Amino acid sequence: MKIKHFIISFFVVAILAIVGVGGYLYKTLVKDPITDADTILKVYITPGLSCDSLYTILAQQIDGAKARKIVDIMYNDEYDASTRKGYFELKGSTSIYRAARRLAAGSQTPIKFTFNNLRLTEQLIERADECLYMCGDSLSVLLNDDRLCASYGFNTTTIKAMFLPDTYEFYWTVTPQRFVERMHEYYEQFWNEERRTKAKKAGLSPLEVSVLASIVEEETAMRDEMPVVAGLYINRLRRGIPLQADPTVKYAVGDFTLRRILNKHLETPSPYNTYLNTGLPPAPIRIPSKAAIEAVLNYRAHNYLYMCAKEDFSGYHNFATTLSEHNRNAARYHSALNRRGIK
C-alpha cells in the first residue's frame, strides 16, 4: 500500500509540476507582453545577423531576459539567419512567443519613404540609401543606364521627372530594380487621362509639364502664385519669346545660392540658360512637386509676359504685360537690393 500511495503521490506531484511549469511558460511566453503596450519596437535585421547582435538590438528596447527568450526561440527554431532580413515593428503588447515567430517568419512592416524639395537625382539616390536597405550605388547604376531609362520613356537626364515627391510605402529590403519599377507605376497612376488631356491643351507633354513646373517652383514658393507664373511662361512659349527665367541661369551656373543675377551669369553657355535659348530646357532643373505640376496643368490665363520679385521681399512678384511696366518694377526691386547691400 505504501508503494501504491508513493506512486500516486509521485504522479500527482509530477502532474502539478508540469501544470505549474506549463502555466508559467504560457504566462511568460504567450500571455505576458514584451513591454509597455504603448511602446513600438523597431527592429532592423540584416542577412547573417548573429543572435548576440539581435539580442543587443532587442535589449536596448525591452527587458534583457525577455530579449534573450525571443532570440532563443528564433535561433532554436530552424531560423535561417543567412537570408532573413527586414524591418519589423512590434507592439509592446505582443507576447514573447508571437514576437519571436513574427521575426522568424520575416513578416516585414512597410517603411514610409518620403522625399521632397530635391533638385538632383543624386539627392534622391542619397535619400533612398538613407531610408532603405538598398545600396545607393546600385540605384545610381540603374538611373544612369540609357536603355533602362529609355524603357520608361526617359533618358538619364530626364529620368528624375519620373519621381514624384510624396510619401510612399516600401519594404526596407526592396531591391533597386523593384524600387524604380514601383516609382514608374506611381508615375503612370498620377499621369491619368485627365492630366494628360490638360497637358495636351496647354501644348505640352507630361515631361514638358514637369520641366516647366520645376522652373515655376524655383521662381516662387507661394502656391497661390504658381498658376500665375505658369501662365506667364506658357504665354512666352506660345509666342516664341525666351523664358528668361533666372532659376535656369542659376542651374546653368551651378549655384542656386545666387541672390542676384548679373550680366556675366546671363552669358553662361548652357542648354539650360533660357536667356540664351528659346523654349524649355532639356530636363527639369529640380524634381518638381505635385503642387507645381498641378499649377502648370491648371495655369491661370492672363496676358502677363514679365515678372519681377516684389521690392518688399515678401516672396511674391509684380507682373507686367509690357516691357516698360516691367522695367519700372525691376527698378524698384534693384533699388531695394542696393539698399540692403545685396550683390
> What is the block-wise mean pLDDT of the chain (343 residues), using blocks of 10 residues?
54 44 42 83 91 93 93 81 87 93 90 95 96 94 97 97 97 96 97 98 97 97 96 97 96 89 92 96 97 98 94 92 94 88 76
Q: What is the DSSP letter of 220?
A: -
**pLDDT (0 to 100) of residue 259:** 82
Q: Are 279 and 205 in contact (CB under 8 A)?
A: no
**pLDDT (0 to 100) of residue 8:** 55
Output the pTM of the full model.
0.85
Partners of 115 in beta bridges = 166
Question: Could you give the 3-state DSSP secondary structure of residue 318?
Answer: strand
**pLDDT (0 to 100) of residue 337:** 87
**pLDDT (0 to 100) of residue 144:** 97
Amino acid at 206: P
**pLDDT (0 to 100) of residue 37:** 81
How many C-beta atoms lie closer than 10 Å to residue 79's C-beta? 18
CA dihedral 309, 310, 315, 320 (to 10 degrees): -60
**pLDDT (0 to 100) of residue 28:** 44
Tell me the domain boundaries of the chain. Answer: 25-105, 112-190, 203-302
Q: Are 159 and 121 in contact (CB under 8 A)?
A: yes
Stated as kind and residue range, the H or E segment containing 306 is strand 306-309
**pLDDT (0 to 100) of residue 4:** 56
* Residue partners of 235: CB distance under 8 A and separation at least 6: 241, 302, 303, 304, 305
**pLDDT (0 to 100) of residue 29:** 43
d(CA 121, CA 129): 12
**pLDDT (0 to 100) of residue 111:** 95
d(CA 163, CA 185): 10
